Amino acid sequence: MANISKKVSWSGRGDDRGERTPLLNGAEDGKYNRHVLNFVFQSLDYDNSENQLFLEEERRMSHMGFRCLETRRWVICGLIGFLTGLIACLIDIAVEKLAGYKYSAVKQNIEKFTEFGGLSISLILWAVLNSAFVMVGAIAVAFFEPFAAGSGIPQIKCYLNGVKIPRVVRLKTLAIKVFGVICSVAGGLAVGKEGPMIHSGAVVAAGVSQGRSTSLKKDFKIFEYFRRDTEKRDFVSAGAAAGVSAAFGAPVGGVLFSLEEGASFWNQMLTWRIFFASMISTFTLNFFLSIYHGKPGELSSPGLINFGRFDSDSVQYNLYEIPLFIIMGALGGVLGALFNVINYWLTIFRIRYIHRPCLQVMEAMLVAAVTATVSFAMIYFSNDCQPLGQDNTEEYSLQLFCADGEYNSMATAFFNTPERSVRSLFHNPPGSYNPLTLGVFTLAYFVLAVWTYGLTVSAGVFIPSLLIGAAWGRLFGILLSTITSSQSIWADPGKYALIGAAAQLGGIVRMTLSLTVILVEATGSVTYGFPIMLVLMTAKIVGDYFIEGLYDVHIKLQSVPFLHWEAPPTSHWLTAREVMSSPVTCFNRVEKVGRIVDVLSNTSTNHNGFPVVILSFLQPGKICGLILRSQLIVLLKHKVFVERASSRLSHRKLQLKDFRDAYPRFPPIQSIHVSQDERECMMDLTEFMNPTPYTVPQETSLPRVFKLFRALGLRHLVVVDNENRVVGLVTRKDLARYHLGKDGLEELHLAQT
């Protein structure tokens, strides 16, 4: 018995091990395999290289200098918050204006044609307007910056996890992202602007903290100290938090988002700075919106950036409603899992067949046109007419075939920007929607949202999820009040809309802590914290049973070597010896330039870190340091050769500043010219290498190695034997390839696209 249970716990299946290999999930060359790790992704150098240059610089720095540094960090965080808030404000206003023009044009047209006939023309007008907006946005994304597609949260998550996603934090990406999201929201797609806000915040942070833009080729000569991966990544986590807080008006939620989704390495001062950035960002947005709305200075004016407050008496809840909320959470988990599964297959199809930019643009346009068509058909065939409200909250109410003085209730849900629709589902008085309307709307919007996420437009999934959830949650509330006789208790379906929205969003993205706080802050109701938390927990537990969260699905599909919180379970029997790559390309302490150039130019390996060994006749040699490709390239560029040392006496010595100037886009090795004579020169790496790299013995288990990577943000980990000789090197990709599949531990392949 013991034997069997052991087998099960290791591999998940017992007997047919002989026929199938347990670790490789059966992929041959050439055949497309979706579970691979992409070769191009590199790690960030979070671990500081404490070489002699660094020590010298630190010695030169005064006490005052360190104080200034700390102050500068705060200034940068403030700037990040301010700029993120400004961008959020820009997006808000632009979307409102553009959508306003579009909806009033379509509304006028519909009103004209309702009377005289020709509504199919209005339909075509709406579809064309939608497609036109989306086309502009999609062209910008597909042809100029494909990395601006999607919500950007998976990318930021990867970046904060320590993966260097190329081009993800560039100014150009930011510009395309902002432009794209304005187009896609104004184009009526089932998308929100919140996810892109988070990405925008991150880009702002990466840009501001560097004090220059490589896209614009402009260097402000400030904040030069922060030009390295460690600092940049800390600021990016602040930027992501600022983005969240600007998107939802949730400063604490932003900090927790950064904590939950991103920063694996965390310290208290950083948290406090991130909070500062978040707060500044929310209130910058509030300030500028208050000016825009003609009430300058009224920072606390409600309704500037949130979903409206739940503080009237009718939206109280009681203890006996908690089980209902939990049921809704489970429902949200199931629906979210369904969403993710469908979107997963759709994304695979897109990766395989729709990878040309023009096809992608066409697809986005088609989705936009179909969205308009479906919305129009729904509105046209809806018989749900409601009297116009007292305060007339619907800005673009359509009458169509309703009696005078009434409006089409389906139109409030469809003929509006998604954010406004969420707000009206939350807060419209009971009886504003028919159950049938809500049911049909949920179904239609679910399909549209699944279809839309993953298009080549920049757009987020937060708002559509909330909208789907709010719709079925409200439906749930209405049905409750009809099946129970006592009207008063279940009176307000608005709170069920809120709970449904939380359940659906939790089921899709599977965030817990941060999402609870975000929703509590965005609706301004602390009393709902408890039910929202329960609902999100239930949704996560139920959803995880079927498939992982949407962002993780997309990270996997992009083949990013992502390190999760912990090593996969049942991996203790794997040791560093099996995990590492070997043999390792090493350099000697004093190495020939020709060899360095050759190794760096070898495109098939593309290594980034090289252990430096003491020259010896024994193979392999004893380790004495680690040097990075980027450092070698800077050294080659400045021609720091031993033979030149005498003639270079007049020159200044190479400083850390030279490395920082080249950061982050180190030139490729091909662009550095090394003549035949120079190839014969020698290069002394002692001064520049990291003299104390982390090493582990060969018998270290995988979880132990994993913990080192995760906690210290390592990029390379040298595996040595008992005489300190280099036998292998562990990198992120070596670790990320193991994951727990259905048949126990599985191994992913490396692939090149």
Question: Rule CB under 8 A: is residue 384 a binding residue for another protein?
Answer: no
Tell me the C-alpha distance between 572 and 569, whole Å.
8
Report H helices in 293-356.
322-353
Question: Rule CB under 8 A: is residue 359 a binding residue for another protein?
Answer: yes
- Which of the stretches 282-290, 373-381, 493-501, 626-634 binds another protein when contact is defined by CB under 8 A? 373-381
Question: Residue 237 or 360: which CB sits closer to another protein?
Answer: 360
Interface pick for another protein out of 93, 124, 334, 513 (rule CB under 8 A): 124
- Please list, in sequence order, all residues whose beta carbon lies within 8 angstroms of the beta carbon of residue 151, skipping any fewer than 6 positions away: 194, 195, 196, 198, 199, 453, 458, 459, 460, 461, 462
Interface pick for another protein out of 90, 171, 324, 377 (rule CB under 8 A): 377
What is the size of the binding site for another protein (CB under 8 A)? 66
Q: Which of residues 578-597 bind another protein (CB under 8 A)?
A: 578, 580-583
Name the E strands within 538-681: 587-588, 590-592, 609-613, 623-628
Q: Which of residues 404-433 bind another protein (CB under 8 A)?
A: 404-406
- Please list, in sequence order, all residues whose beta carbon lies within 8 angstroms of the beta carbon of residue 340, skipping any fewer than 6 positions away: 508, 543, 546, 547, 548, 549, 550, 553
Tell me the C-alpha distance between 76 and 270, whole Å.
12
Question: Rule CB under 8 A: is residue 569 a binding residue for another protein?
Answer: no
Question: Rule CB under 8 A: is residue 393 a binding residue for another protein?
Answer: no
Q: Could you write out the DSSP letters of every residue in 478-503?
A: HHHHHHSS-TTTT--HHHHHHHHHHH
Torsion angle (degrees, nearest 10) of CA 500, 501, 506, 512: -100
CB of 82 to another protein, least distance (A): 37
CB of 414 to another protein, least distance (A): 14
CB of 114 to another protein, least distance (A): 6
CB of 94 to another protein, least distance (A): 25
Tell me the C-alpha distance between 200 and 171, whole Å.
9
Question: Residue 117 or 297: which CB sits closer to another protein?
Answer: 117
- Which of the stretches 192-200, 230-238, 323-331, 372-380 binds another protein when contact is defined by CB under 8 A? 372-380
Tell me the C-alpha distance between 219 and 596, whole Å.
31
Question: Residue 90 or 119: which CB sits closer to another protein?
Answer: 119
Question: Rule CB under 8 A: is residue 486 a binding residue for another protein?
Answer: no
What does residue 290 show for φ and ψ, rounded to 5 degrees? -65, -35
SS3 assignment for 198-258: HHHHHHHHHHHHHCEECCCCEECCCCHHHCCHHHHHHHHHHHHHHHHHHHHCCHHHHHHHH
Q: For another protein, what does the binding mask look like between residues 147 and 166, x meaning CB under 8 A?
A: --------------------
Interface pick for another protein out of 97, 112, 167, 356 (rule CB under 8 A): 356
Q: How many other C-beta atoms can be found within 10 angstroms of the C-beta atom of residue 277?
A: 35
Interface pick for another protein out of 1, 64, 403, 483 (rule CB under 8 A): 403
What is the β-pairing status of strands 587-588 and 163-164? unpaired
In angstroms, what CA-CA distances link 331 with 444, 511, 536, 601, 683? 18, 16, 11, 55, 64
Q: For another protein, what does the binding mask look like between residues 529 and 568, x meaning CB under 8 A?
A: ----------------------------------------
CB of 430 to another protein, least distance (A): 21
CB of 482 to another protein, least distance (A): 25
Interface pick for another protein out of 8, 299, 711, 750 (rule CB under 8 A): 750
Question: Residue 11 or 724: which CB sits closer to another protein?
Answer: 11
What does residue 685 show for φ and ψ, rounded to 5 degrees? -95, -5
Q: Which of residues 702-731 bind another protein (CB under 8 A)?
A: 727-728
- Please list, in sequence order, all residues whose beta carbon lies within 8 angstroms of the beta carbon of residue 217, skipping any fewer than 6 positions away: none
What does residue 663 show for φ and ψ, rounded to 5 degrees? -70, 145
In angstroms, what CA-CA distances link 252 with 441, 463, 588? 33, 19, 50
CB of 358 to another protein, least distance (A): 11
Q: 690: which 2 tokens?
A: 């990291």
- Which of the stretches 20-28, 89-97, 311-319, 474-482 binds another protein when contact is defined by CB under 8 A? 20-28
Helix, strand or coil, per DSSP, at residue 587: strand
Question: Rule CB under 8 A: is residue 294 a binding residue for another protein?
Answer: no
Interface pick for another protein out of 223, 339, 376, 688 (rule CB under 8 A): 376
9 CB-contact burial (10 Å; exposed 0-12 / middle 13-18 / buried 19+): exposed
Question: Rule CB under 8 A: is residue 362 a binding residue for another protein?
Answer: yes
Tell me the C-alpha distance between 640 and 89, whole Å.
49
Question: Residue 18 or 297: which CB sits closer to another protein?
Answer: 18
Largest CA distance in the chain: 96
- Which of the stretches 285-293, 396-404, 544-552, 710-718 binds another protein when contact is defined by CB under 8 A? 396-404
Tell me the C-alpha distance between 413 and 325, whole Å.
24
Question: Rule CB under 8 A: is residue 117 a binding residue for another protein?
Answer: yes
CB of 621 to another protein, least distance (A): 17
- Which of the stretches 5-13, 236-244, 465-473, 630-638 binds another protein when contact is defined by CB under 8 A? 5-13
CB of 620 to another protein, least distance (A): 12
CB of 353 to another protein, least distance (A): 5
- Best CA proximity match to 125, nearest among 101, 102, 94: 102
Question: Rule CB under 8 A: is residue 354 a binding residue for another protein?
Answer: yes
Question: Rule CB under 8 A: is residue 309 a binding residue for another protein?
Answer: no
- Which of the stretches 29-37, 233-241, 546-554, 560-568 binds another protein when contact is defined by CB under 8 A? 29-37
- Which of the stretches 112-120, 154-162, 217-225, 528-536 binds another protein when contact is defined by CB under 8 A? 112-120
CB of 413 to another protein, least distance (A): 18
468 CB-contact burial (10 Å; exposed 0-12 / middle 13-18 / buried 19+): buried
Q: For another protein, what does the binding mask look like between residues 617 and 636, x meaning CB under 8 A?
A: --------------------
Question: Rule CB under 8 A: is residue 132 a binding residue for another protein?
Answer: no
Tell me the C-alpha distance between 463 and 420, whole Å.
10
In angstroms, what CA-CA distances link 337 with 211, 386, 471, 549? 43, 34, 18, 8
- Which of the stretches 115-123, 218-226, 494-502, 505-513 binds another protein when contact is defined by CB under 8 A? 115-123
Q: Could you write out the DSSP letters of every residue in 369-389?
A: HHHHHHHHHHHHH---EEEPP
Question: Rule CB under 8 A: is residue 670 a binding residue for another protein?
Answer: no
Interface pick for another protein out of 5, 21, 52, 108 (rule CB under 8 A): 21
The residues pairing with 747 across neighbouring beta strands, listed in sequence order, are: 24, 738
CB of 20 to another protein, least distance (A): 11
Q: What is the DSSP letter of 403?
A: P
CB of 148 to another protein, least distance (A): 20
Tell me, rounded to whole angstroms, the distance of Cα 188 from its chain centroid: 23
Which residues contribute to the site for another protein (CB under 8 A)? Answer: 7, 10-11, 17, 21-24, 27, 29-30, 32-33, 36, 39, 114-115, 117-120, 123-124, 127, 349, 351-356, 359, 362-363, 366-367, 369-370, 373-374, 376-377, 380, 400-401, 403-406, 573-574, 577-578, 580-583, 727-728, 733-734, 749-753
